[in-house]
Amino acid sequence: MRFPEVYLWLTDHKQSWPYHIKISYNEAPMELRQLRCLIAVAETQHFGRAAQKLGMLPASFGRHIKLLEERLGGQLLVRTTRHVALTDAGREFVAEARDLVERADQMERIFREGTHGKSRLLRIGAIDSAAAGLMPQLLPKVREDYPEIDVELLEQKTIRLLPRLLSGRLDIAIVRPPESPDTQLEFLPMFSETAVVAMPENHPLAMRETVTIDDLADQPLIVPDRGSRPHSHDLTIKLFLEAGYTARIAQVAEEKQTIVSLVSTGLGLAIVPKWASRLAVGGVNFVELEGPTDNAKRSLALTAVWLKETRHDARDAFLKVLQDNLPELSKTA
């Protein structure tokens, strides 16, 4: 929001003219989010990856960097079509920015520990697999053992949930394990989901109990977009590469519901987690994929994650129920 300029007129009785003083309120204050954006660029040296790391749209991310440079009145970054680098002044500024952001995060953690340690509200983030497959089984058990806990559930992708944990907007999340785990986060490995193949019900393989990658070698495939769903995308690619084939990609889509709906039209087959068979899409059969490799299973791994060195009674209660029921929950995955 931009405020109007204010003019203050002062009269000097010894002079025949007034003093004209202009006070401008147009300069926007520097924000922590702008500093986080700059730090992310410094770490990734790439605008797209930095925006993804913070769960932001590239256009919005770029605006924050631009506003920060305008506020400071100097250039922090040198941009080319393929590379982003810090200027000398930018490197010095980032060092100070890291210290400021870390202190702000520490203040927030201390406050949350003091005020939310015994909170009844539990804010859980979950990827679509966990939200549709795990939570309907787990949350009734949590309510049975701890009826005083109120749960807020947010369904999002891993790349959007992790920044929310780091900023304190979530208490715990169920995600795919990130390739580069943040040292501020604690991880509890859970289990790997079963891979199945979604195919039109009239497909020649649709009545089989299991299929192999050899059976799918020449089939057109629908795969998730790697930018937003790297684990699900890599699952298909790894399976085909390790079997000596190249995946024949017919279509890229983002949401599982969209992917399964495209399968129903006959556009192609899709390798998806078993929970996707619960989606209400007619004309699709789900056939178990025989013999996925260890690498492929890791692509479908689920892990619980939360912020280290924080107290939260409701979160700890949720973790206890989760760990007590892991063997049973893994059987249905």
Residue 50 has pLDDT above 90, yes or no: no
CATH architecture of 119-192+300-331: 3-Layer(aba) Sandwich (3.40)
Residue 302 has pLDDT above 60, yes or no: yes
More confident residue, 236 or 321: 321
Which two three-digit tokens encode residue 187? 């991880």
Residue 320 has a pLDDT of: 93
Residue 210 has pLDDT above 90, yes or no: no
More confident residue, 194 or 317: 317
H helix count then E strand count, the chain: 12, 15
Residue 140 has a pLDDT of: 92
Which two three-digit tokens encode residue 122? 């539990």
More confident residue, 320 or 23: 320
Same fold, 32-112 and 195-299: no
Q: Which CATH number fits domain 32-112: 1.10.1040.10, 1.10.10.10, 2.60.260.20, 3.40.50.2000?
A: 1.10.10.10
Q: How far apart are CA 306 and CA 103, in angstroms?
A: 19
| Third-level CATH fold of 195-299 | D-Maltodextrin-Binding Protein; domain 2 (3.40.190)
The 10s digit of each residue's pLDDT in 265-281 is 888 998 888 877 777 67
The two most distant CA atoms of the chain are separated, in Å, by 100
pLDDT grade for 124, boundaries at 50, 70 and 90: very high
Convert 183-218 to b/e letters by CB count within 10 Å (16 or more is b): eebbeeebbbbbbbbbbbeebebbebeebebebbee
Q: Give the gyration radius of the chain's Cα atoms.
A: 26
Residue 240 has pLDDT above 60, yes or no: yes
Q: Which residues pair with 306 in a beta bridge?
A: 186
More confident residue, 279 or 259: 259
Mean predicted lDDT score pLDDT of the chain:
80
Asked whether 184 and 307 are in contact (CB, 8 A), the reply is yes
More confident residue, 30 or 261: 261
More confident residue, 316 or 329: 316
Residue 322 has a pLDDT of: 92
What is the average pLDDT across 170-194? 87
Residue 120 has pLDDT above 90, yes or no: no
Residue 297 has a pLDDT of: 55
Q: How far apart are CA 121 and CA 108, in angstroms?
A: 17
The 10s digit of each residue's pLDDT in 150-165 is 898 888 888 889 988 8
Cβ neighbours around 21 below 10 Å, total: 10
The 10s digit of each residue's pLDDT in 54-88 is 878 888 888 888 888 888 888 888 887 667 888 88
What one-character-per-residue DSSP string does 100-157 give? Answer: HHHHHHHHHHHHHHHHHTT-SEEEEEE-HHIIIIIHHHHHHHHHHH-TT-EEEEEE--
Q: What is the pTM of this model?
A: 0.59
- Domain chopping of the chain, boundaries: 32-112, 119-192+300-331, 195-299
Burial class (CB in 10 A: 0-12, 13-18, 19+), 78: exposed
Residue 81 has a pLDDT of: 65
Three-point CA angle 218, 224, 227, nearest 5°: 130
Residue 8 has a pLDDT of: 42
